[in-house]
Structure 1
Amino acid sequence: MTAPSVLQATLWMVGALFSFMAMAISGRELSAEFTTYQILFFRSVIGVLLISFLVSRSGWAQIKTHRFKGHLIRNVAHFGGQYGWFFGLAFIPLAEVIAIEFTTPVWTALLAAIFLGERLTLPRLTALVLGITGLLVILRPGMGAVHPAAFAVLAGAIGYSLTYIQTKSLSATETPLCILFYMTLMQLPMGMIPSLMDWKTPSLGSVPWIVLVGVTAMSAHYCMTRAFKLADATVVVPMDFMRLPLIALVGYLFYSEVIDWPVAVGAAMMLAGNFVNILAEHRKRLPLHSD
């Protein structure tokens, strides 16, 4: 891994971070006018147009698949994850949404052990314990009512973890564009059908937010994918952790949100656990040198 590749990966991660922040802001703005289902529908419409354009340039043959069931499972889980995330944006502080979302690696490790037979090593168990403890610190059960939106985001994080497990399986036979194509296509009716039951025609002022939420949903994942191709996870993932302080700053500047200490402490515990696991995985991949 050369210095130029690390610099390029950093630039791609800057793009990913700004995309995630813009998606969170646009989701918050749209939640004042639309239901979560309608936001997800708009997101899928923009996504279908963007992905169809990219597939048309690289070849439609790649979307032929014999794994329709696998795509369906992945997209039901991902739609659930997206619903929990966008629902949470409307009701709880932005920093709390991102902090709870950072439990996704915890549930991914647990599901990978159950469904893929992956070993729960000591670093993974450390991440698991710190992640769950950090979550309990944030939610503070027994110390007052927890907003239902926090549980929606938590359920969304579990949905995301199942998505990652299924993506790992699909990536053995499908191209990234194929996976994204079926993601946008399958999730389109999932958002459209419930949206029609309580349809609100977009106002002219909401159109830029609709375009932004759709474009940034695609650009965030594209930028992160490019970053992972150029640099190790030990370089890329810590940069992704910057989402939390950055989104907290956005919440403070735009929505007058103040982070309370349990969110900060709980998030720090989660990030520490994830970082321990990432470093351990990196060391396993280092070549052995003999003197």
Structure 2
Amino acid sequence: MTDAPVNRPVAGILWMVASGLLFVFVNAGVKYLGPRVPAPEAAFLRYALGIVLLLPTIRPIIRARLTRRQWGMISARGVLHALGVGTWFYAMAQIPIADVTAINYLSPIFVAIGAAVFMGEKLAARRIAAIAIGLLGALVILRPGAREIEAGHMAMVVTALFFAVSYMIAKRLSDELPPMVVVSLLSISVAVALAPVAISVWVPPDLETLIILFGVAVVATTGHYCMTLGLRAAPITLTQPVTFLQLVWAVSLGYFAFDEAVDPYVILGGGMIIAAVSFITWREAKLKRRAVIPPPQATKV
């Protein structure tokens, strides 16, 4: 996804604000369900129910005439993303929404590291410093030794890593396939990958659960669409800092809706990660390099 000229900055910011709000509603829906159904089943239902939204993309997928190598990349991405989605649903049921949101910001940092290791991206001193600040932000959130690190926190770190690898594969696929095809095949492949695990732990869902998960699918899809419109309207260097608002909303939602305490260390650590990601993005734009670092929304469920 490339940056557009700065011709509609206000529109770009508003679209990204809307995207962030929608993803907070996704978090709220999943948090409300909690452990009502096992995490693999909830994740499977989210994607399976959302496939109905992808019916218009069947024809473009057929016309794409995918090669065996592309199918392999799509399958690998589906499995990795499915693992990330499963751990994300688990984390949402175990730890505060603010912690989930803040730790997920690590995905772009992991992408920056992966781009250097696997894609030959150069790591200048400033970029190394930004990555170090981002990782330090994660330590501020987790505070090992100062508090008990729950399984949900570790699950969320793993989630950020899985989503980062998924995004890097998507970057390769987007060079060869239309974005609509890449997004649609991700949803289908994730549903297929999650199906066996979901069946093994299946608990018959009630109607309310199905309605909420379908709503999550609709809202998440709309959120990604709003993000796309935002990135088309304004450069990512302008819209990237707006994603910090999502952490503010997540903290507010957790406090008012789920009686979760406000943890200043989570806000500080999340702010450090966002600052690091924003700096790396700004440097990419200043050097006029092809954008590698994604906005945090691009690695959402």
Q: Is TM-score (shorter-chain normalized) higher than 0.5?
A: yes
1:249 aligns with 2:275: no
> CA offsets per residue over residues 131-172 of structure 1, 9 Å max, x none?
111111111112242101101000010111111111111111
- Residue 34 (structure 2) pairs with residue 18 (structure 1): no
> Structure 2, unaligned stretches of length 5 or more?
290-301
* Residue 215 of structure 1 pairs with residue 224 of structure 2: no
1:82 aligned partner, one-letter code: V
- What amino acid maps onto 1:181 in structure 2? S
Q: Does 1:65 align with 2:102?
A: no
The offset of 1:255, in angstroms, is 0.6
Once residues 116 and 160 of structure 2 are traced to their aligned partners in structure 1, the CA distance between those partners, rounded to angstroms, is: 17
**Is it true that 1:197 corresponds to 2:200 in the alignment?**
yes
Partner of 1:275: 278
Measured in 2, the distance between the counterparts of 1:60 and 1:261 equals 46
Aligned-pair Cα RMSD in Å: 1.8
Is contact 2:73–2:169 with CA below 8 Å preserved after alignment? Answer: yes
Structure 1 consecutive aligned stretches of length 4 or more whose deviation exceeds 3 Å = 59-63
Indicate the residue corresponding to 1:52 in structure 2: 55
Contact 1:131 1:270 in 2 (8 A): yes
- 1:230 CA drift (Å): 1.7
Question: How far, CA to CA, are the matches of 1:261 and 1:11 in structure 2?
Answer: 27
| Residue matched to 2:111 | 108
Q: 1:10 to 1:188 in 2, by over 3 A?
A: same
| Shift of residue 2, structure 1, vs aligned partner | 5.0
Cα distance between partner residues in 1 of 2:92 and 2:112: 26
Give 1:253's aligned amino acid. F
Q: How many percent of aligned residue pairs carry the same amino acid?
A: 26
* Among 86, 91, 97, the residue aligned to 2:94: 91
Pairing partner for 1:178 from 177, 181, 184: 181
User: What is the CA distance between 1:219 and its match in structure 2?
Assistant: 1.6
Give the TM-score, by structure 1 length. Answer: 0.91
Larger radius of gyration: 1
- C-alpha separation in 1, matches of 2:174 and 2:153: 31
> CA, structure 1 residues 86+270, in 2 after alignment: closer, same or farther (shift >3 Å)?
same
Instruction: Give the equivalent residue in structure 2 for 1:150.
Output: 153
Check 1:283–1:60 CA distance in 2 against 1; reply closer, same or farther (3 A cut). closer
Give distance in 2, aligned partners of 1:229 and 1:162. Answer: 24
CA deviation after TM superposition for structure 1 residue 55, in Å:
4.2
Task: Provide TM-score, normalisation by structure 2.
Answer: 0.88
Aligned-partner SS, 1:16: helix
Q: Which runs of 5+ in 1 are unaligned?
A: 287-291
Select which of 265, 268, 280 maps to 2:268.
265
